[in-house]
Amino acid sequence: MLLLSVFTLQFIEAKTVNLKGKVITIDVGHGGRDSGTWYGKVYEKDINLEISKVLKKTLENAGAVVYMTRDKDDDLSSKWDARKKRGDLYRRILFIQEKKSDLYLSIHINWFNNTWHRGPEVLYHSINPNNKVLGENLMEQFKKDFQTKRTLTTTDLYLYRNTRVPGVLIECGFLSNADERRLLQDKSYQQKLATSIKKGVMNYFLEIG
Ligand SMILES: [Zn+2]
């Protein structure tokens, strides 16, 4: 009986803290002059930051060391950058590399002209073969937790095609869908997203070993 409970405890511990020692950078989309997509006074950059803060706590509770590319309403460009947006993205890549991240997660919110589109989705670039594995694990978890019909797709955007550290772009949902717009600003829904992402990340590390 005692042996059984010791075994059970170790099993539970392994299951709950298995991001121990992993370094994860959350790339908080947009910021400052760049609001991302918006609806009225609801800006993507603000929701990205809110979700990222919840995600940071959630990953830290699972044992990970977590960095965020920004923790306030600012972008990363320097006053010397002739092209502000490119400078911002370039510095995000440097940040991810300098932190010696095991992986990065870019947090964004989607927009589509057809308002019925909804659900979280994941995009990746094949610069690192692990990106697809990470994307599959995250998307699989999203399908379980949100019954979404969205699928894993590829992206050729600058940041993703130039970052060698494994990572993906997560579009957490659609600001263009009224119901999802409300949910994305809701604390408990943000936590649901964060928990789902944490599970996907754990499964990724289990898969790559
Ligand atoms: Zn965005």
Q: Work out the number of other CB atoms within 10 angstroms of the CB of residue 63.
A: 13
CB atoms within 5 A of ion ligand 1 belong to: 29, 36, 108
DSSP 8-state secondary structure symbol assigned to residue 128: S
- 3-class secondary-structure state, position 156: coil
Burial of 105: CB neighbours in 10 Å, binned 0-12, 13-18, 19+: buried
Tokens standing for 119? 């659900």
Q: What is the pLDDT of residues 84-109, one digit of tens each?
A: 999 999 999 999 999 999 999 999 99
Q: Give the C-alpha separation, 6 to 152, whole Å.
A: 40
Domain boundaries, the chain: 19-208
Q: What residues have CB less than 8 Å from 41, skipping those under 6 apart?
A: none
Architecture category of domain 19-208 in CATH: 3-Layer(aba) Sandwich (3.40)
pTM of the complete model beyond 0.75: yes
Distance, CA 46 to ligand 1 centroid (Å)? 11
Distance, CA 8 to ligand 1 centroid (Å)? 43
Structure confidence at residue 80 (pLDDT): 87
Q: Write down the residue that tokens 């970052």 correspond to.
A: 163
Q: What is the pLDDT of residues 58-85, one digit of tens each?
A: 999 999 999 999 999 999 998 888 899 9
Distance, CA 15 to ligand 1 centroid (Å)? 32
Distance, CA 30 to ligand 1 centroid (Å)? 6
Query: Across-strand partners of 181?
Result: none
For the chain, 209 residues long, give each residue's pLDDT as a single digit of tens.
556 666 665 555 445 558 999 999 999 999 999 999 999 999 999 999 999 999 999 999 999 999 999 999 999 998 888 899 999 999 999 999 999 999 999 999 999 999 999 999 999 999 999 999 999 999 999 999 999 999 999 999 999 999 999 999 999 999 999 999 999 999 999 999 999 999 999 999 999 98
Structure confidence at residue 167 (pLDDT): 98
Report whether 168 contacts 96 (CB < 8 A).
no
Axis crossing angle, helix 187-208 with helix 44-61, rounded to the nearest 10: 50
